[in-house]
Structure 1
């Protein structure tokens, strides 16, 4: 029999034997692919979803007219577009809820973790290229870009107690002597946004300083709303002040 059917068996070390061992191992580990009878229902559903509208359009074309098929195709396209947009909105809300923080979590974070939370909130709200820039040995600012090319600089202050033990006190741990620095020039026609974010409250002299230098302050109350999911642009009405006034 071996002389008549020399390939009826797979000697050890051949490619066929190796393939059989790999297939057996996949079956034992539960990693085997689906069988044809497991794929048929899903394939039939896909064909039904795609074929039913096409069949309906063909029936309208042949029985009513081309204009009816065209109107039906436009309505179908609009419905698909609306469903896709609604799905994207749902996913965006889920991502937003997934990147929410509570004040106790923020208060319990050290300086590095505090900056990381603010960076994630910025990314969540559509800011890009958010990165840290070291200003001194202990001070690190965040910089980034907005969807419209507007640049962002963020400095930080913590409450009166040190990071990890914050209780919402006045923001006096690390004063900021000037506006957060930007490494490159901003986009033409867009005024850079400078923020000072604090887990505490700002003293009156700090509010006056910010107004004079064009710096926006995010205190504990605003931070709580921002961390809970509110968009920074809505929180600070950024759409109202991103364009520089006409010099004339």
Structure 2
């Protein structure tokens, strides 16, 4: 087996002098490198300063643009009004996005979650006082009706799956009498065409329209720990 290279102490005056010379040469080269680098930096400082200034200005511009964009969005949402005629022309996805925007207008931090496996939630909003709301959107043709089965589905998932304090079914159509009665009995709120107009077109806040409590009235809606 071959042996690896190992450093050993210099032996004798000649080896000591040679090692000292090598060390001195290395130190001189390192000092020259530092000197050259420092000189180059000194010579290039105007360019480096200009690059740093440009980078800072670009970062500030991006931040300012993002802030202005958020302000414009807040102003747009604060004045958001959507007519029933506009709702009727939407597809399911746009309907869900519109309801999310209306929640944001009313002070909720909301997001759209509709899609495959949404577990009866198309939009979820959080409010510092009112808690969490789950919205199940049912876009129908004009005159279409939503039945009790939708209420059952929302009841079964809003609390256990989404830890919601409030559950709401929203449609641009109508709800059957059984659906409204069942929802009222089991704390599943509903927004039909008439309430949707008051919320979206007239500008009423959803929590005021539905008289949502600051604390859940039913243990079923309490969030899991």
TM-score (norm 2): 0.54
Structure 2: runs of 5 or more not aligned: 1-45, 47-73, 220-225
Greater Rg, structure 1 or structure 2? 2
Q: Which has the higher contact order (CA 8 A, sep 6+)?
A: 2
Match of 2:111, SS?
Answer: strand
Deviations 1:14-62 (A, max 9, x none): x9xxxxxxxxxxxxxxxxxxxxxxxxxxxxxxxxxxxxxxxxxxxxxxx
Q: Tell me by how many angstroms 1:208 deviates.
A: 1.8
The two structures, once aligned, show a CA RMSD in angstroms of 3.5
Q: Tell me by how many angstroms 1:137 deviates.
A: 7.7
Alignment equivalent of 1:169, drawn from 144, 152, 156 = 144
Matched with 2:214 is: 242
Q: Tell me by how many angstroms 1:244 deviates.
A: 4.2
Match of 1:175, SS?
Answer: helix
Matched with 2:53 is: none
Asked if 1:231 corresponds to 2:208, the answer is no
Q: Tell me by how many angstroms 1:235 deviates.
A: 1.2
- Structural mapping, 1:67-146, within 5 Å: 95-97=77-79, 99-132=80-113, 134=115, 136=117, 140-146=121-127
- Structure 1 residues 219 and 95: alpha-carbon distance in aligned structure 2, compared to 1, 3 A threshold: same
Matched with 2:56 is: none
CA distance in 2, matches of 1:211, 1:158: 21
- Structure 1 residues 203 and 96: alpha-carbon distance in aligned structure 2, compared to 1, 3 A threshold: same
Structure 1: runs of 5 or more not aligned: 1-14, 16-91, 160-165, 187-191
Deviations 1:120-147 (A, max 9, x none): 0001100014331546389652212112
Does the 8 Å CA contact 2:77/2:104 hold for their aligned counterparts?
Answer: no
Matched with 1:217 is: 190
Match of 2:82, SS?
Answer: coil
- Structure 1 residues 141 and 93: alpha-carbon distance in aligned structure 2, compared to 1, 3 A threshold: closer
- Structure 1 residues 153 and 94: alpha-carbon distance in aligned structure 2, compared to 1, 3 A threshold: closer
Q: Tell me by how many angstroms 1:94 deviates.
A: 6.8
Asked if 1:200 corresponds to 2:181, the answer is no
Does the 8 Å CA contact 1:168/1:220 hold for their aligned counterparts?
Answer: no
Match of 2:199, SS?
Answer: helix
- Structural mapping, 1:173-192, within 5 Å: 175-178=150-153, 179=155, 180-181=157-158, 183-185=161-163, 192=165
- Structure 1 residues 203 and 150: alpha-carbon distance in aligned structure 2, compared to 1, 3 A threshold: same
CA distance in 2, matches of 1:176, 1:237: 19
Deviations 1:82-138 (A, max 9, x none): xxxxxxxxxx887532x1111111010000000000000001100014331546389
Matched with 1:72 is: none
Q: Which has the higher helix share?
A: 2
